[in-house]
Chain A
Amino acid sequence: MAKPLSHRMMGWAGRAAVVAILGFIILPAVVVAIAAFNDKALLSFPPEQLSLRWFYKAMSYRDFQTGFQNGLIVMLFSSSIALVVGSAFAFVLDRYEFRGKKLIEGLLLAPLVVPHFTVGLGLLILAAQVSLTRTFTVVVVCHVILVLPFVLRSVYISLRNLDERLELAAASLGGKPWSVMFTITLPLLMPGLVSGWLFAAILSFNEFTASLFVTAQRTQTLPVAMYNYVREYADPTMAALSVIFIVVTAALLTLANAYLGLGKVLNVEQAR
């Protein structure tokens, strides 16, 4: 049955709206890319001469280098800890009923609602009381708390989609709990685990507000260094660094989508 003209026009209007909204989302990235290759130190559109000098400057700027290293350290520790703690608890949440279950789950998911500056200030005060300010420990603990909800969710969704009968079959054939866990459960959960870890890693590396509160000069992560740079200088060095950030993040997520199916992990499409 051919659709009437008015319906088709509505379809086109819908498509135009989607394209316009996507344009709004992508616009800043495109504009920053144009600014990053501009040879001039001051913002100007369109650029008269192209150059890579701001990329060299971004790579060789001391605070960005140490920020990058600090960020990597914090990211590796916090995302790995969050992965272990979060997936273990997601398993318990999915399988067992116990007293206090809702309370613990609520507390662990609270950082999705509690503002990051509040989490940051709370941990700063706590760190001061146990003499841990200016250490990586407080930064890592802070990031674990902030990224844990994302690991919890993505592993929990994978567990929901997992066919428990496979585990029961292995157990009925004499598999001990640990061997069932390692030969059946964990391999089947791999997409959820990898994307949970990836989400945690990217979010930790890019976390800013809470980090601003809990980091010191010595433990400053890259976003904090970038924020300080923007406050002091107006040249396109930040634009160059932003382009690198955008390209790397988009590439990682594209890979994750190709190999893990982001749609399923984010629960925006149904596993069939």
Chain B
Amino acid sequence: MTAMWRRVRLILLELAVPAAVVVAWWVWSANADNFYFPPLAEILRTFADTWVFERVGTDVVPSLARLGAGFAIAVAVSIPLGTALGLSTGARRVTEPIVEFVRAIPPPALLPFAILVLGVGDAMKVFVIALVGLWPILLNTIDGVRGVDHTMLETARVYGVRGPERLRRVIWPAALPQIFAGMRTSLSLALILMVISEMVASTSGIGYFILQSERSFDIPEMWSGIVLLGLLGYLLNAAFALVERRVLRWHRGARASALQ
């Protein structure tokens, strides 16, 4: 009973705090009369006019498509690569300096190069998003694959579980909690790079819209774009958490029972 009451209280608090922030913003901005901070009411009105659903097709869809493509490429490249590196000590040792070097380059620094090679179109943006999203997944996959419990591997050996079967039913599931943690980091990085790449060179997208609004002094429009990004980030993360909860149900169960 007390546990349930605590949960209810936490949920209420979780809702109440953001609501309080919104109310505070609303009240303060209504009378602020500040050009850079227009009243929240006006931002929301602009938000409704702009995003429901006038610019969805022209800006939101292209942005999300780039994000989705970039993220998908990052996942598709880094999981097989990370698995190979995680399984082979030799390959890992050889590639480690390169991995560490490339990883250390701040991703936006690659934008000029990407524009030079791929132009200013979608390919460049997808490339940059994928390149940035790659690292967290790659490193976590390597770590997860390396860290598979020794007894589990010996069990697989004794019972003749090898090759693709071993990969699919033993190694990947064991590494999955870490791979998911990497994917989550990668998703938020992808969102950041989506905005940056659209601000540098673009004719569409949410990042482009925000920058255009700022340049033409449409401050409420600019704010509405920022609010939209916040909402998108929140929803993406929530959707990802939902998938993770389902896929890793066993992981939470096993951990809970180990703690008892």
Q: Do A and B come from one complex?
A: no
Q: Which residues of B contact A (CB under 8 A)?
A: none
